[in-house]
A = this chain, B = another copy of it.
Amino acid sequence: MIARGGIDLGGTKIQTVVVNGRWRVLGQARRPTPTTGGPEDVAQQMAEAMREAAQAAGVKSHELAGVGVGSPGDVDERTGEVSKARNLPGWDGTFKLGPWLGKQLATAVRVGNDVQVATEAEFRLGAGRPYKSLVGVFWGTGVGGGLILDGKPWLGRGGAGEVGHMVVKKDGAPCPCGRRGCLEAYAGRAAMEAKARREHEEGRKTELFKIMKKHEHDRLTSGIWERALKAEDSLATELIDRAVAALGAGIASVINLLDVEAVIIGGGIGTRLGEPYAKRIVKAMHPHLFNDDNPPAVEVASLGDLGGAIGAAVQIKR
């Protein structure tokens, strides 16, 4: 039996899995991502979570055929170095994540970009299987994107897929990236939370922060947005409507440029709100589609919560 490891390194949590040759999950573990310290502290937690998943699967880490990592920041796939992972503590510079983990886990480690890895996983194992070309749109804290063109990942010069920073409204809302009018400025959870806080401070009534406190969170998670929508909170509804409209325009721009077969909607909010909201994104996209008699298929990512970690493991070839 060939077992592979996968690590999904997120801003909030580290998710690990061990999968067999048919990508079935044999063991998994989850740890919070450290919020203080530096890259080595994060890597330490990654190694321990990986060992924990291996133990749950009944193998040792050095018996794994390899471990794949999906990481935020600038990833050098050749060297396993990760730079500018700015939502991780003290990770403004470069850290040799691949080699460091390889030594700790005593197996081959491959590091890839988290969004690209998740896109490939959906393409090979998930909702993207019927298609040869697709765009993955990961609607979460930010809005990430990955491309598969003619069956192969398209990385450009290494920086492709920044769907979240396509301009949907010139001179528009401020984006966490420091620019203006990006898709993420309207649809990213971080940008939506910032706007909700501003409006709340200015006296706007909303259940969002009450639900947050009730669930003992300090930020607006996807689950909190979902609960507020169910409670028909007007601010939450308004901000999600605004996000859906921006996603519709941004995704239409992608389709007008690339005319791919399918759009896979993933990410924390995307998978949590699921099919009904994917349908609303389709409706918002349609008026902007140039070839509106030939729209792409739009599907919700199907690998769920473990998709990122399974996708990371897919990097380890047979």
Contact = CB atoms under 8 A, between A and B. Distances in A.
Nearest to A156: B259
Given A156-B259, A258-B154, A288-B179, A168 B165 contact: no
Interface residues of A, number: 45
A171 B168 CA distance: 10
Kindly report how many copies of this chain are found in the complex they form together: 2
Contacts of A249: 167, 170, 181
A181 B172 CA distance: 13
Contact of A256 (B149, B165, B256, B287): B165
Interface string A232-250: 0000000000000110011
Contacts of A171: 169
21 contacts: A149-B149, A156-B258, A157-B259, A157-B294, A159-B259, A159-B294, A162-B256, A162-B257, A162-B259, A163-B256, A163-B257, A165-B256, A167-B168, A169-B171, A169-B181, A170-B245, A170-B246, A170-B249, A179-B287, A181-B249, A182-B288
Minimum-distance CB pairs A-B, first 5 = A156-B259, A166-B253, A160-B259, A162-B256, A159-B291
